[in-house]
Every structure is written in structure tokens, then in C-alpha cells.
Structure 1
């Protein structure tokens, strides 16, 4: 228990200490966010805000977890996914910000990199923790056999990109992620997987500290560097705790953000131009419906807290 609390506090303090150093450095390098024209017009005022602030989260959380975690296979999977997807996000940000190519990595490049890392992580986790998954609200585990590999690759890719999609408003992805990692703190304690709890605590602390500079009006954005790293950590914890169905509940905000995009695209194509939502991901729909940004973020945080609570109940 001490290591979990210490990891959370270390992640928090490191994040708070790194922010005043990193933000001026990012400004000096002119790593400012370019706001796409097709987004809400109100977001144009955010153009030039430093991005790639996810580096703060990565350094703070990884440092804290290295100090307090046991170096076992669980740690290896989570750290590799956290840093690996963070590097993919960093490359994407670098192309956007430094090379001035607004769309970043090409779609096929991103898919190849994410798929390759997902395949490696899934096979490694299958050999380390097995191929069974927990059924929520029961003590039942279902062995997926070799179907585990394609299924969990889909889960990893889905959560990584869902967190990335959620990162569209000041503090939104940071706050929603906090509640998901709190679930993993509880899950690690209940399943006697201390490494999971410690790493999740480090991430929780780092995100709380990051919110000081990421909440509206944001002084820095996490960028794809941060959102993909968070998605990587989240999906890796799903792998080692064998809990994709639990996270479907606890991380429902991420799921709904992704589903809104899928539904919009399919409906748009099927109806030749009609839309279900005013704009997706769905947080933009609420913005364009008259909610101010802070209200959208706070309501999504509240929903995340409820889903996280139900997720914890599902494993008791």
C-alpha cells in the first residue's frame, strides 16, 4: 500500500515540477498546436498553444513507477506499451509541428506501427498471463485460445485510438483517464497485481499534476505523444489484468467517443451526406449544441466517475 501511495505522490510532484520547465522549452522550440479548420471555430483561439506536453506525463509516471514497481513481466508489458505508443504519438506530433504536415503520419504508417506493437504486446502477454479474460460481475474467466491474439490486438488498437479521439478539449482526456487508472489501482489490489496498481497510481498522480497546466484555458496540450501513451498504458493494463470486458464498462466514455465517430462515418456514407451528430467525436456535438467547453469536460468527467465506479463493482 505504501508503494502505491508513494508512486502516486511521486508522479504528482514530478509532473508539477516538470511543467514549468517543459512548457517554456516547448515554446522556445515553437512546438505550437495548429488547429484544423474543420474543428469548432471557437478552437482557433488555441492555435499556437504548446503541444507534445505528453512528455511531462511520460517522464513523471515512468520515473515514479520505475522507483516503486517490481521489474517483472507485467511492468515490462505496461512500460513497453506506454513508451512505445508514446513514441508513435511523438513521431506523429513531430511531423505535424516541426515538419508542418498538418495530418502527421499517413494513415497506413500509423496503422503499421500500431499493429506491429500491438501484435508484439499481445503475444507477450498471452505467454505471460494466459489467454483467458474475466467476465464482469462474475468470477468466471473465459479462455479464448488463439482467438485471444486477434481479439486483444483489436482491443489495444481500439483503446489507444479512443483516448486519442477523446483528447479534443482542455483537460478532457487527462481527467477521463484519471478515473480509468483509478480502476486499475483497485483492480491491481484486488487481483494481487501490485505492479499494475503502482504504475496506475504513478499515472494518476502525473495526470493530476498535468491538469494544473492542461485544464481550461490550457497552457499546454498533451498532443498525440500523451494521448497515445495513455492509451498504450491503459490497453496494456487491460492485457495483464485480463479485463477487456471490465474496461468496456469502466472506460465507457472512451468507447462512446469512438462509437460516435464510427456511427457518423457509416451514416454519412449510407445516406450520402446526412449526419447523426453535429460533429464528432461526440464532445464536439455538445459544444455545438451550446454547452461551453468547461461544462462538456466536467460532465464527461462525471460520467467517467460513474462508469469507473460501476467497473470497480463488476470485479468485487
Structure 2
């Protein structure tokens, strides 16, 4: 069977499992009261089931198990067995941490401690960042810094995806786009094993949008967000960062630039205000756009376009055929949606002025 066919099978199976299981997961969650209740920081107005990550997790793992039974992992070199198991086992445990938080509301420090332990275990099994790229220089070997750098990357990305999960469809869409780009790049880089994981995750994330796009019928919860964030970070490590090419090492950070930069900006903003970086607030990019009067859907589409744009740049830098053509098309799409955001903002400003003038006239009478 052609290698690419296994990736298509993984994608289709994960989509099917997600679409098939979400209605039942939603029903059970509502009956048990496992819901995300509205509050001053959240956007939704009614309780929403918050364990949709169960379907994302099930879709990805079932797809990988079926592809494994079909022989899709048969060509994995013996030296790569540890790292693929480190990735899969780590993603399962990250899901368990998030799911436990969805049910029991764990403290931030207990979650962080468990995440560090799991990431360290994955590192010991071969999911390691062995090289870093220094601007205007060649690759440098991480040596003894491999463990802390890898842990920061794996734990950081899991939390970055969780942090952007504040608007209907945002985390699932960003993760789905990033997974598709990673699928393409890892296939081009001749890393079919990492590509299989990316294909399964892409199917689960994009299938979940059927029920998670605005207005969302179900949320993925911390379980889904941690699972997707860790898996994306792990695919980047075993599929790209292990290469000894400067371009390949940089690609995961470029593909996931949107959640990375959003998380970094939020942490700096909170620290500058004397707040704990672990206490949630409304300083994310999507909050800025919503506060500017941009609709939920346009906000999400703009951030999708940003993610697709940086992903297309990764395709270009990978020297994939027509990669820079895709980058130009993505730039045009980002420009168009950016223009729509600007127009929408100007309309909101005009409406605010008109309302203010109307109130002034009424008060003068």
C-alpha cells in the first residue's frame, strides 16, 4: 500500500470517529453536569459541555491503532520506536491531566508539575530537542540543556493551545491548520511516522469544528487542548527538530508561531502588571479583537488566516514545490480578512460616534 494512503486513512478515520462520538459525549456531559458555566471572563452565555476532548483523543488514538494494524508503522526504524512511543504515551497522559482538570478543577501548580513529569518521561524515551538554530549561525547542539529546552517546548505548547481556547472554534481550527501543515512538511522531509500522527490529529481537530465553530455546541476542555498542544509539539520534535538542517529545526516554531507569540505576549503583559502569569484574564489576541467590536466569527477567521500564513511560510522555507506560491496566496487571504477586520472596526467606531451624538442631542433637550 502506498505510504500516502495510510495518512489519508488515518485522517478519514479520525474525522469519522469524532463526528460519530461527539453527540453522545455531549449528552453524557450535560447529564452529569460537566459543563463550562458563563462568567465575567467568558464569552458564552449558557452552560456548554466541556469534554469534547474525549472525541478528539479517541479519534486520534483509534485512527493510529487501526493504521498500525494495517501495517502503517511497519517501516519505522528500530531506533525510532522509543520516540514514537514517547510521543503517543505522553499525549495520552497529557489528555488524562487535562481531563482530570475538566472534572476535578486541579490547581495550576499541580497541573504544571504533572506536565513536567510527563514531558520528562517523553524526553527520556527519545522525544528530544538535540539542536537549536542561532540566527546567522549554524546549528548548535543542546547537550545538557536538551532536557529543560524540550520540557519547556512540550509543556509550553500544550498550555499555549489551551490558552487560545477562548473563542468558539479557535483552538481546534488553529491546531487543525498547524497539523495539516506539519503533515505536508513531514511527508516532504521523509518523516512518514510523524506525518501519520499529524494526519490523525488534523482529522480530529477539523472534524471537531463541526460542533465547535460558532455557535459552539461543545467545548474541547483542557483534555482536548493539552492533548492537541502536546501532540503538535511532539510531532515537531520527532519529525523536524531531529533533522540537522537549519531550516527543518526552525519549522515547528514557525508553524506554531501564532499560539507561541500569543502566550508570550500574555505572560509578559501579566508580569508587567504585577499579576501571576497563571491567572486568566482578557489579554489574549482574541480578546483584543472582540473588545474592538469585531465579531466572534471574524476574529476566529482572522487568527485562522494568520496561522495559515505562517504555515505557508513554512512550506516556502521547506522548498516544497509551489511552496512560495501558497505563501503568496495565504498573504492575499490574510490581507483580505485583515481588511474586513479594519472595515468592521471602522463601522463600530462610526456607530459609537452616532450613538454618542444622539445621546448628546437627547440630553440637550
TM-score tier, shorter chain, comes to: 0.7 to 0.9
Tell me whether 1:253 sits opposite 2:252 in the alignment.
no
User: What per-residue deviation string (whole Å, max 9, x for no partner) do you get for residues 96-118 of structure 1?
Assistant: xxxxxxxx211221121011111
Q: Is the 8 A contact 2:186 2:194 kept in 1?
A: yes
- Report the equivalent of 2:344: none
Contact residue 254 and residue 314 of structure 2 kept, 8 A: yes
Do 2:162 and 2:229's aligned partners in 1 also have CA atoms closer than 8 Å?
yes
d(CA) in 1 for partners of 2:49, 2:262:
24
Answer yes or no: is the 8 Å Cα contact 2:240–2:252 preserved in 1: no
User: Where does structure 2 lack aligned partners over 5 or more consecutive residues?
Assistant: 75-80, 242-248, 276-280, 320-365
Residues 53 and 130 from structure 1, CA distance in 2 versus in 1: closer, same or farther, beyond 3 angstroms? closer
State the alpha-carbon separation in 1 of the partners of residues 264 and 82 from structure 2.
32
Is the 1:89–1:223 Cα contact (8 Å) retained in structure 2? yes
Do residues 292 (structure 1) and 310 (structure 2) align? no
- Residue 307 of structure 1 corresponds to which residue in structure 2? 310
Corresponding residue number in structure 2 for 1:85: 94
Does the 8 A contact of 1:178 with 1:207 survive in 2?
yes
Q: Structure 1 residue aligned with 2:147, among 144, 149, 152?
A: 149
Q: Pick which of 164-173 and 175-184 moved more.
A: 175-184
State the alpha-carbon separation in 2 of the partners of residues 136 and 229 from structure 1.
31
**2:82 alignment partner in structure 1:** 73
Residues 83, 122 of structure 2: 8 Å contact kept:
no
- Partner residue of 2:120? 119
- The superposition leaves residues 192-224 of structure 1 with CA deviations (integer Å, 9 ceiling, x where unpaired) of 221111111111111121100000110000000
Q: Does 1:238 align with 2:236?
A: yes
Q: CA deviation at 1:130?
A: 7.3
Q: Does 1:131 align with 2:130?
A: yes
Matched, 1:49 2:48: yes
Q: Tell me by how many angstroms 1:133 deviates.
A: 4.7
**CA gap 1:21/1:137 in 2 versus in 1, 3 angstroms:** farther
The runs of 5 or more residues in structure 1 that have no matched partner are: 96-103, 271-277
Describe the SS at the equivalent of 1:153.
helix
Give yes or no for the alignment of 1:182 onto 2:183.
no
Partners of 1:6 and 1:186 lie apart in 2 by: 15
Bigger mean CA offset, 208-217 vs 230-239: 230-239
Q: 1:221 to 1:267 in 2, by over 3 A?
A: same
CA distance in 2, matches of 1:53, 1:137: 44
- Deviations 1:159-180 (Å, cap 9, x if unpaired)? 1110010111100000000111
What does residue 275 of structure 1 align with?
none
Structure 2 counterpart SS, 1:269? coil
Correspondence 1:4 to 2:7 = yes
Per-residue displacement from partner, 1:48-105 (whole Å, max 9, x unpaired)? Answer: 111111000000111001211417334312211221111110111111xxxxxxxx21
Provide the C-alpha distance between the structure 1 equivalents of 2:62 and 2:134, rounded to a whole number of angstroms. 33
CA contact (8 A) 1:134 1:141 kept: yes
TM-score (norm 1): 0.86
Say yes or no: does 1:24 pair with 2:27: yes
| 1:158 equivalenced with 2:161 (yes/no) | no
| Separation in 2, partners of 1:60, 1:162 | 22
* C-alpha distance in 1 between matches for 2:269 and 2:39: 19
Partners in 2 of 1:204 and 1:135 — Cα distance?
30
Q: Which residue of 2 aligns with 1:264?
A: 269
